[in-house]
Amino acid sequence: MTPIIEARGITKRFGEVRALDGIDLVAESGHVTALLGPNGAGKTTFVSAVATLLRPDGGEIHVAGIDACAQPKRVREIIGLAGQYASVEPAMTGTENLRMVARLFGLGRRDARTAAADVLERLGLADAGDRLVRTYSGGMRRRLDLGASLVGRPQLLLLDEPTTGLDPRGRKDLWEAIRNLVADGTDVLLTTQYLEEADQLARHIVIIDHGRVIAAGTPDELKDRAGSNVIEVRPRSAGDLPAVEEALSKIGCEAPYTDMDTQRVSAPVAGGADQLRDVVRLLDERDIEVDDVGLRRPSLDEVFLAVTGKHLEPTDPDSDPQSEPADAA
Amino acid sequence: MTTETTVTTSTPDVATGARVDRTTGAGFVTAALQSARRTVLQFFRTPQLLMLGTVQGALFLFMFRYIFGGAINPGEGIDYVDFLVPGFLASGILWLGMPAATGVAEDAATGVHDRLRSLPIPRASIMFGRSLADTALTGWGLLVTTVLAFIVGFRLDAGVGEVLLAVVLLIVMAYCFMWVFISIGLTSKSAQAATGTCTLLIVPLAFVSAAYVPGDSLPGWMQPVANHQPFTVFSNALRSLTLGGADRVGLGHNTAYWVALSLVWCAGILLVFGTIAVSRFARRR
């Protein structure tokens, strides 16, 4: 089957900056592909190239087999784009916004009306359809913006950081909407800097940094690649954090990492249960009281750390996967 | 959803009845009308825009008519209010067009243009639609100003044909100059930057001209620029048409001269800035 996106060796410079430095990406139909990377990694530039908004300096992009450089208009017929901002018109109602985009997609007046109503219904905005968008909450605007990229019934949906700036509730709602879309047969490429988002939504994750792909695969494959499991300890008192770090440094195969936000110390270990037992013993010997101690699979952040030597999102506590150690053994 | 037929360029088959899997995009006219409609709705539903676009002209007109007016002598046999209004309307194109630049800059900054450019439509249609809508909104502001002008004492001295020609000319001038504002919007990084650029452009164009005062009352060193820049030409063309002849405006040319020169300016401005705006919007970075 033709991949929905097939990009080979995409390069793009802006002056001296190499925004894209030879990106290869193949996204198969039928699931979400996530482009994960820190700010400035080149995510938006790549999406813009797929959306035919910019022309790469080198390389080839095919969308559903169509050459994006040679036949941009045919690509535009099958994509929907929702950018980083909710680019809906505040002075128009939800319905008016969607009808306008539907009309631009080439639907007739009646079809546009039906399509707008369908999409509003599907995104849970039917009741708000006749209100001006300026009265919407941030989450509703984002959903409406997603809707605007949907009314043309695109084959491929491009979502550039769809949940940036949303509260957890709004984020969950949008994830739900995206999952439903994929279930209905729409292919999705989304960019995100949230590990949890990629983990939750995508079956295929491409991690990029400085315009290059540094790892790609399913979440499980990526975690396997990072190799080691992780032991994570949260002492009852923050004053014990250095002592915990010292104890873990005796066990782990790499230096422990202390996250001051969540007050957890984690260290990758070569084995698993045996090391966990050792850690418990060491903590016991030192009389350190702990709230939580566990063995878990590496997070995508550790995958990123393993490949690049830095953390993906060191300052963003609200999406830190370590705040819920679900994989504790 | 089909993925074959990669060779044929799509023909916009207007299959309204038949079910089509793939949308082929709106044509030029539909896309332009949608774009225009959005701009008009935005204006009439945003109180700040509506206020500014409606009341601003009135405020300035009162100021010139009653505050500065007494000190300005437009020459013998002509009231200042009659001299003022045609120039005031011409320069109104400048003040009323500014929101177009900020609106365009804002659409560029908030991803609206990216969305529109990702759609299968002729890209020029979007800016074309905007230019029509923004001209209509300028027209709205000019209409309000004109009504007020009659209330504060402006009187025509011209035949129906000349007045009609003046109206058409004013609209043509507003339309052509709108492309300057659209170009500013498209080349500015933010709405604030667009406002700044517009102010730097509008103030000299409006004031270093014969729009509000007779050209020969300006300092000598200013006159070479002031007497030839488009807004002096526009003002004089409208004066010639509405006040019963070019001898009423000074500067020693006839009505046909001012009208023709206005049209030349319009054509030049449209050509240059229309090209800038359309290519800027359509370009793939």
Mean pLDDT, range B165-187, rounded to an integer: 97
Q: Which residues pair with A80 in a beta bridge?
A: A157
B217 at the A interface (CB within 8 A)? Answer: no
- Given the cut 0.90, state whether the ipTM is greater than it: no
Q: Please name the helix (run of DSSP H) or strand (run of DSSP E) that holds residue B240, with its range, or none.
A: helix B230-242
- Closest by CA position to A94, among listed A123, A129, A127, A120: A129
Q: How far is B229 from chain A (nearest CA, A)?
A: 37
The residue of B28, B115, B130 whose CB has the most chain A CBs within 10 angstroms, and thus the best one to mutate to test that interface, is B115
CA distance A65 to chain B (A): 6
- Give the residue from chain B lying closest to A154, CA to CA: B22
Q: Do B285 and A89 touch (CB under 8 A)?
A: no
pLDDT value, residue A26:
94
For A263-272, B135-144, B182-191, which range has the lowest pLDDT when averaged over its residues? Answer: A263-272
| pLDDT over threshold 60, residue B4 | no
Contact by Cβ (8 Å): A259, A321: no
pTM: 0.83
Q: Is residue A116 pLDDT above 90, yes or no?
A: yes
Give the model's pLDDT for residue B30: 95
Q: Do A91 and B41 touch (CB under 8 A)?
A: yes
How many CB atoms lie under 10 A from the CB of residue B99?
29
Of all residues in chain B, the one with the smallest CA distance to A151 is B23
Average pLDDT over residues A213-227: 83
Region A107-113: what's the mean pLDDT? 93
Segment A224-228 shows an average pLDDT of 72
pLDDT at B251: 64
Q: What is the mean pLDDT of residues A151-174?
A: 88
The CA distance from A215 to B250, in Å, is: 76
Q: Which residues of B touch A157 (CB under 8 A)?
A: none
Rounded to whole angstroms, the Cα distance separating A62 from A29 reads: 13
CA A251 to centroid of chain Cα atoms: 33
A137 vs A313, more confident? A137
Of residues B108, B265, B95, the one with CA closest to residue B193: B108
Which among B29, B223, B242 is positioned nearest to B126, based on CA atoms? B29
Q: How far apart are CA B196 and CA B48, in angstroms?
A: 18
Q: Are A301 and A196 in contact (CB under 8 A)?
A: no
Predicted confidence at residue A307, as pLDDT, reads 75
Q: Is B114 an 8 Å CB contact of chain A?
A: yes
CA of B188: how far to CAs of A136, B104, B185, in Å? Answer: 28, 9, 5
**pLDDT tier, A320 (very low <50, low <70, confident <90, very high otherwise):** very low
SS3 readout for B79-95: CHHHHHHHHHHHHHHHH
- Higher-confidence residue: A320 or A228? A228
Residue B256 · residue B241 · CB < 8 Å? no
Torsion angle of the four alpha carbons A84, B281, B191, A89, in this order, in degrees rounded to the nearest 10: -50
Instruction: Please list every residue in chain B whose beta carbon sits closer than 8 Å to the beta carbon of residue A87.
Output: 110-112, 114-115
CA dist., res. B178 & res. B131, Å (int): 6
The reported pLDDT for the residue numbered B23 is: 61
Q: What is the pLDDT of residue A255?
A: 78
User: What integer best gives the mean pLDDT of chain A?
Assistant: 85
Q: Round to whole Å and give the CA distance between B281 and B126.
A: 9
User: B20: pLDDT confidence band, cut at 50, 70 and 90?
Assistant: very low
**pLDDT digits over A63-90, tens only?**
999 999 999 999 999 999 998 888 999 9
Report the pLDDT value the prediction gives residue A12, as an integer from 0 to 100: 94
B42 closest CA partner among B130, B108, B121: B130
- For the record, the structure tokens of B270 come out as 């449209």
Half-sphere exposure of A145 (CA within 13 A, CB side): 31
Q: A-chain residues within 8 Å CB-CB of B121?
A: 104
Q: What is the mean pLDDT of residues B7-31?
A: 56
What's the mean pLDDT in B224-242?
Answer: 93
Query: Which residues does residue B54 pair with via DSSP β-bridges, in sequence order?
Result: none
The distance between the two most distant Cα atoms of chain A, rounded to a whole number of Å, is 75
pLDDT higher than threshold 90 for residue A133: yes
Q: Identify whether the C-beta of residue A266 lies closer than 8 Å to the C-beta of residue A259.
A: yes
